[in-house]
Amino acid sequence: MRRVVTGSAIILVCTLALGGLGWIGKLWYESRLPGTYSVLDYGTPDYGGPAAPSVVNGMSGHQGHSGGISVTDLRERRADTRPTAFTLEARHAQIRLASGKVVEALTFNGSSPGPELRVRQSELVQVTLVNEDVESGVTLHWHGVDVPNAEDGVAGVTQDAVLPGERYVYRFRAEQVGTFWYHTHQLSSKEVRRGLFGAFVIEPPQGSGRRLDLPLLAHIYDGVPTINGSDVLERRAVAQGTPARLRLVNTDNASHRFALTGTTFRVAAVDGTDLNRPALLENVSIDLPAGGRADLVFTMPSKPVRVSVDEWQVGLALSADGLASPAASVPLTTFDPATYGEPAAASFDSSSQFDRRFRLTIGKKPGFFAGRPGMQWTINGHIYPDTPVFHVDEGDLVEVTIANEGNGSHPMHLHGHHLLVMSRNGVAVSGSPWWVDTLGVGEGEEYVVGFRADNPGIWMDHCHNLRHAAQGLTMHVAYSGVTTPFEIGAEHHNRPE
Ligand SMILES: [Cu+2]
């Protein structure tokens, strides 16, 4: 009797094991990606309830060619003025940091960060990208600038990667005043980390009006923390009474805590958008998600002030004689944009009639990503490339609930649009209208955000911890009828992440 039971058990176990192996084999098989594919060939279509789609636009890149509009046609039309022109040459270079450490970097024009590009509102910006010797190819993405889709710089979606010896011209109108940055969007998890980025500032037509106006880009090269490419405490002479604007930019993969000590200050803008009636702050630190920005304004006091980041020794000291070295200090109280400033009318709010409502839930599950087993990032339970495609029509008012049920925090970045943050963990935003393009979503947090679908195209929506994005924490927002002739892979080896 016992032998019969044991025999049955063995058969049952074997059957389950074989079935399990078969199931795992199927998951592996389905996770493999072809050498070349259109991003619209994959993805789980989502039309956003409760509104029914007015047009069923589940067209893939293949089916959508007839009657659709190509991303290449979505460009700046008003080219009536003479452009403000820049050239950025991507090349390998050795960079010697202030401490003497040498970094094998990828640079624009020989430096990293690349040159600061500064223009005034409504100028026509023209940037010629030249790839001298970056073998894997390069593009330029204008982080936070809601450019026409053809200028968005995503390899395999809006253009081909620019290979060594090639060039590519970007042209767009600078409409938004604020602090932005540019970076490559080809193999960005490797190329941005190694140095292919820089500051992009759009001033009001009359200029910024600040005698000290300085972008401060925090980045880690080869494990070495830096600000504007310096790994020591930089000192600068600033006269008392000088109006100052510090444009904090986090170009790193992790979120960082910035501090300005020795003075009171205001957070004038977040992600390139001014805040309404920002209050005076003191001894408050500012957490910036990867890719995020904040502009701090203050009047230079008689005593020295200092910018610090985390526990880094690197920093910026400002004083009358330029010699002071105030100690690093990062206050424990953290700036909260959800309650800062005063409410003001925005173009819509949480009580508006939304045409589409989506959920974007970040999680993790065991499975295969590109043929490799492991714990994988998921969006709404799907592993890339089956992560959702949010389909929208031009003009839609769109609500997205972003929930982080995975581990760690995820700086979610939607291209081509700004998101109005309406609530966090069920609590309505009570301060200034809070517009973002990069929203740090902490573990267990849930945000409700909204945007107007007013910039047709195929747009990435991804985690700006670029390592996570390369591991599949990426998806797309696609407008009805928009198609792309570009493909991931292909002869330009397009790989946006
Ligand atoms: Cu992430």
Kindly report, residue by residue over 393-434, the tens digit of the pLDDT.
999 999 999 999 988 999 999 999 999 999 999 999 999 999
Q: Calculate how far, in angstroms, residue 313's C-alpha sits from the geometric centre of ligand 1.
A: 26
Q: How far is the CA of 475 from the centre of ligand 1 (A)?
A: 12
Tell me if 350 is assigned to some domain. Answer: yes
233: closest CA among 307, 340, 304, 289?
A: 307
Cα(290) to centroid of ligand 1, in Å? 9
Q: Give the pLDDT score at 436.
A: 98
Helix, strand, coil in percent for the chain, rounding step 5:
10, 40, 45
For residue 1, what pLDDT is reported?
54
User: Does the residue 226 lie in any domain?
Assistant: no
With tokens 């925005």, the residue in question is 346
Q: Is residue 450 part of a domain?
A: yes
Distance between Cα 436 and ligand 1 center (Å): 17
Look at residue 442 and tell me if it is in a domain. Answer: yes
Whether residue 405 is contained in a domain is answered as yes
Q: Please give the distance, rounded to the nearest whole angstrom, from the Cα atom of residue 409 to the centre of ligand 1.
A: 6
Q: Give 361 Cα–ligand 1 centroid separation in angstroms.
A: 12
The residue with tokens 């994959």 is 42
Dihedral pair phi/psi, residue 5, rounded to 5°: -60, -45
CA distance 342 to 473: 34
What confidence score (pLDDT) does residue 58 get?
42
CATH of the domain at 445: 2.60.40.420
> DSSP 3-state assignment of 3?
helix
332 DSSP β-pair partners:
none
pLDDT of residue 29: 72
Please tell me the distance between residue 255's alpha carbon and the centre of ligand 1 in angstroms.
10
> What distance in angstroms lies between residue 152's CA and the mean position of ligand 1's atoms?
21
Asked if residue 163 belongs to a domain, the reply is no
The answer as to whether 465 is a domain residue is yes
| pTM for this model (two decimals) | 0.92
- Report how far ligand 1's centroid is from the alpha carbon of 333 (Å): 24
DSSP state of 175: -
User: CA-CA distance, 432 to 474, in Å (whole number)?
Assistant: 29
Rounded to the nearest whole angstrom, what is the distance from the C-alpha of residue 491 to the centroid of ligand 1?
29
- CA–centroid distance, 308 to ligand 1, in Å, is 24
Q: What is the Å distance from ligand 1's center to 250 Cα?
A: 15
What pLDDT, on a 0 to 100 scale, did the predictor assign at position 50?
A: 60
Inter-residue contact 334 to 285 (CB < 8 Å): yes
Number of domains within the chain: 1
- Nearest CA among 103, 262, 125, 295 for reference residue 193: 103
CA of residue 448 to ligand 1 center, whole Å: 18
Q: How far does the centroid of ligand 1 lie from the alpha carbon of residue 470, in Å?
A: 10
pLDDT confidence of residue 57: 44
Distance (angstroms) between ligand 1 centre and the Cα of 429 equals: 23
468 C-alpha vs ligand 1 centroid, how far in Å? 5
Three-class secondary structure of residue 26 per DSSP: helix
Cis amide prior to 304 (ω within 30 degrees): no
CA of 252 to the centre of ligand 1 (A): 12
Q: Which amino acid is at 102?
A: V
124 CA to centre of ligand 1 in angstroms:
34
* Domain assignment present for 493: no
Domain carrying residue 447: 39-69+345-483
Reference 328, options 233, 245, 244; nearest CA is: 233
Q: Which residues of the chain have pLDDT under 70?
A: 1-5, 50-67, 79
> What phi, psi does 69 have (nearest 5°)?
-115, 135
